[in-house]
Structure 1
Amino acid sequence: MKYIIVGLGSFGSSLGVALTSQGHEVIAIDSSMQKVEAYKELITHTICMDATDEYTVKGLPIVDTDIVVVAIGEDQGANVMATALFKTLNARHLISRSINPLHEKVLQAIGVDDIFHPEKESAMRWSKRLSLRYFVDSYSLTDSFSIVEIGIPQALVGKTVAELKMDYKFNLKLLSTLRYEHYDDSFGRTQRKPNIQGLATPEQVLQDNDVLVVYGDNKHINQFLRSVGVKVH
């Protein structure tokens, strides 16, 4: 897929690097040449330009781009202007970053397809991670249902998926297991990437260092964890 990311702050740059590493084509733009230079080896294309300047933005391949993400977070006015401009230029799928509730209403009025709140979403993910010892990561589908990654409790090592009876006892679905592998990036920093083991099968034996990928109601996930001796706040 092809993406345009507007703004190379912490979120925009991380998103651009991640999408590029997954094989997507990313055009990242920012008004700071320093940021553009910093990520030119990590993101498919980086361009120094003003995202609120209609003349220059028109030169981007907007009609051929699958998703435009306006990730500007420091300047609410620039965020709104850039978002409105890409909407006017008929971006196929437009996503913008909300800074506060009033800003979100403005974005809704503009007619964006999706709105994201990285600080709020990050805080929610970290609240789960800090309050649950075995919690690794999560993706919230609704207020009640999530897909979560849970470091395997020691009590489950050596058991088969069938022995857990997660469907019957807790109304949960064990989708898969994965393990995290560590590697050094181009800056010499240690990073990690998931190695997915495939769809879980009834006869699969759970091993130490496995991470369980579980889908279900949050309260049922907590019930399951309590049943294997994990303290849940």
Structure 2
Amino acid sequence: MKFIIVGLGGFGSSLGMALTSQGHEVIAIDSSMEKVETYKKVITHTICMDATDEYTVNGLPIKDTDIVVVAIGEDQGANVMATALFKTLKARRLISRSINPLHEKVLQAIGVDDIFHPEKEAAMRWEKRLSLRYFVDSFELSDNFSIVEISIPTDLIGKTIGELQLEHRFSIKLLSTMRYEHYQDSFGRMQTKPNIQGLAAPEQVLQDNDVLVIYGANKHINKFLRSVGVKAY
């Protein structure tokens, strides 16, 4: 897929590098030449330009881009102007970053396709990580269903997936198991990445350091978590 990312702050740069590493074509723009130079080797294309200037933005391949992400977080005015400009230029799918509730209402009025709140979403995930035993991460599919990652509780080590009878006892499904591996990125920083073990099979024996990837209704996941000594989330 082809992406345009507007803003190379902490979120925009991380998103650009992640998408590039997955083989997507990314054009990342920022008004800071320093940031453009910093990320030019790890993002497909980086361009120094003013995302609020219609003449220069009009030169971007917007019609050939699948998704435009306005990730500007430091300047609310620039965020709104850039978002409105890409909307006017008929971006196929436009996603923008919300800084506060009033800003979100403005973005909704502009007619963006989606709005994200990286600080709020990160805080909610870290609240779960820090306060819930075994909890690793979660992805909410809707108000009632989620995919949850938990470190394997001690009592489950050495058991097969079939023995747990998760679907029968809790109406949830163990999709896969994975382990987090450490590696050094191009900036010399230590990072972690998941190593997926493949689709879960009944005969698979659960091991120490496994992370369980579970899907189901939130109430059923919570019932399972309580049964293995984890607080409901």
State the Cα distance separating 1:143 from its structure 2 match.
2.8
CA distance in 2, matches of 1:214, 1:187: 33
Instruction: Report SS of the residue matched to 1:60.
Output: coil
Instruction: Report SS of the residue matched to 1:206.
Output: coil
Mapped pair 1:88 → 2:88: yes
What does residue range 14-25 of structure 1 map to in structure 2 within 5 Å?
14-25=14-25
Moved more, 46-55 or 190-199: 190-199
Structure 1 letter corresponding to 2:223: Q
Structure 2 letter corresponding to 1:217: A
The number of equivalent residue pairs is: 233
Structure 1 residue runs of 4 or more that deviate by more than 3 Å after TM superposition: 230-233
CA distance in 1, matches of 2:3, 2:197: 29
Percent identity over the alignment is 83
Instruction: Report SS of the residue matched to 1:230.
Output: coil
CA distance in 2, matches of 1:223, 1:129: 18
CA distance in 1, matches of 2:169, 2:130: 26
Q: Which residue of the partner structure matches residue 230 of structure 1? A: 230
Mapped pair 1:137 → 2:137: yes
Contact 1:54-1:85 within 8 A present in 2 as well: yes
Contact 1:178-1:195 within 8 A present in 2 as well: yes
Q: Which residue of the partner structure matches residue 207 of structure 1? A: 207
What does residue range 60-75 of structure 1 map to in structure 2 within 5 Å?
60-75=60-75
CA distance in 1, matches of 2:42, 2:181: 20
Q: Which residue of the partner structure matches residue 117 of structure 1? A: 117
Structure 2 letter corresponding to 1:77: G
CA distance in 1, matches of 2:125, 2:215: 16
State the Cα distance separating 1:164 from its structure 2 match.
0.9
Cα distance, 1:114–1:231 mapped onto 2, change above 3 Å: closer
State the Cα distance separating 1:187 from its structure 2 match.
1.8
Could you give the per-residue CA deviations for residues 74-105 of structure 1, whole angstroms, max 9, x where no partner exists?
Answer: 11111111001001111011000111111111
Structure 1 letter corresponding to 2:45: H
Q: Which residue of the partner structure matches residue 193 of structure 2? A: 193
TM-score by length of 2: 0.96
Instruction: Report SS of the residue matched to 1:209.
Output: coil
CA distance in 2, matches of 1:45, 1:31: 14
Instruction: Report SS of the residue matched to 1:181.
Output: strand
Instruction: Report SS of the residue matched to 1:188.
Output: coil
Instruction: Report SS of the residue matched to 1:56.
Output: helix
CA distance in 1, matches of 2:217, 2:131: 17
TM-score by length of 1: 0.96
Q: Which residue of the partner structure matches residue 155 of structure 2? A: 155
CA distance in 2, matches of 1:181, 1:221: 26
Could you give the per-residue CA deviations for residues 16-52 of structure 1, whole angstroms, max 9, x where no partner exists?
Answer: 1111111111100000111111111111111100000
Mapped pair 1:170 → 2:170: yes
Contact 1:131-1:232 within 8 A present in 2 as well: no
* Two-structure CA RMSD over aligned residues (Å): 1.3
Unaligned runs of 5+ in 2: none
CA distance in 2, matches of 1:33, 1:44: 16
State the Cα distance separating 1:232 from its structure 2 match.
5.1
